[in-house]
Amino acid sequence: MIETTTLLAFVPAALALNLTPGADMMFCFGQGLRSGARPAVVASAGVSAGLMVHVLLAGLGVGAAVAALPWLFDVIRWMGVGYLLYLAWGAIRNGAISAETPARPTRFAFRDGMLVNLTNPKVILFVLAFIPQFVSPDSGSVLLQFLTLGAIIAVGGLVVNGLVGAFAGGAGRVLVSSPRASRILGWVSGGVFAALAVRLAVMERA
């Protein structure tokens, strides 16, 4: 059982992290511009699900392997770069979704959000660096504490990133009434995904 004082210290820190612009927030913003508010919120749920997988792996000790093995870190990182570039190309090629565009199943937004989060090895390194500061072996199962604290971050991220994506989706709906605006929004969202790919490609391990 996590102590109340620990939770009172953790929740504000987690909220501050959720409110800090980062790759997940920018991804949901780009998803909103490209596909609309609902897919952006679903993508945010996918991001949160990916985070919980990272938390589970960290709690089980698997995350230590990513921290210790440079080649494993790089394999995951370049998979993420490739997937983000794939999303960027799709956004640029197809433009934003307008009334005349066949709707892409929303489940793909969840998958995209989860995969983008899972293929960012910095996330599990962050989890390994941040959450253990609030974990105490004297408070019971370490894995359960990891999952509880991770869930707090995931829920906060779901709300914040979902709101950012919904705002972008609402703005995008206003602009996609013309094919030209739809194409421009496709380039903007594709540019966001491409910028995230470059960021992931050039980042350092520590």
Domain count, the chain: 1
- Residue 117 resides in a domain: yes
- Residue 14 resides in a domain: no
Alpha helix (H) residue ranges in the chain: 4-19, 23-35, 37-60, 63-68, 70-94, 107-118, 121-130, 142-175, 179-202
> Mean pLDDT score of the chain, rounded to an integer?
83
- Domain span at residue 43? 25-97+108-202
The residue with greater pLDDT, 93 or 54, is: 54
- Residue 140 resides in a domain: yes
Task: Provide, rounded to the nearest whole percent, the portion of the chain with pLDDT above 90.
Answer: 28
- Residue 19 resides in a domain: no
Q: Please tell me the predicted confidence (pLDDT) of residue 192.
A: 81
Q: Encode pLDDT of 8-54 as tens digits.
A: 889 999 998 888 888 889 899 988 888 888 999 999 999 999 999 99
- Residue 44 resides in a domain: yes
- Residue 17 resides in a domain: no
- Residue 84 resides in a domain: yes
For the segment 164-189, the average pLDDT, to the nearest whole number, is: 72
- Residue 15 resides in a domain: no
Closest CA to 47 of 80, 12, 69: 80
Question: Lowest mean pLDDT: which of 84-88, 96-100, 156-160?
Answer: 96-100
Q: Could you tell me the pLDDT band of residue 55, with boundaries at 50, 70 and 90?
A: very high
Q: Encode pLDDT of 145-166 as tens digits.
A: 999 999 999 999 999 999 999 9
The residue with greater pLDDT, 26 or 69, is: 26
d(CA 10, CA 5): 9
The residue with greater pLDDT, 100 or 71, is: 71
pLDDT of 2 above 80: yes
- Exposure string (b/e) for 40-71, b if CB count within 10 Å is 16 or more? bbbbbbbbbbbbbebbbbbbeeebeebbeeee
For the segment 99-122, the average pLDDT, to the nearest whole number, is: 78
The DSSP secondary-structure symbol of 51 reads H
Q: Could you tell me the pLDDT band of residue 110, with boundaries at 50, 70 and 90?
A: very high
The residue with greater pLDDT, 169 or 117, is: 117
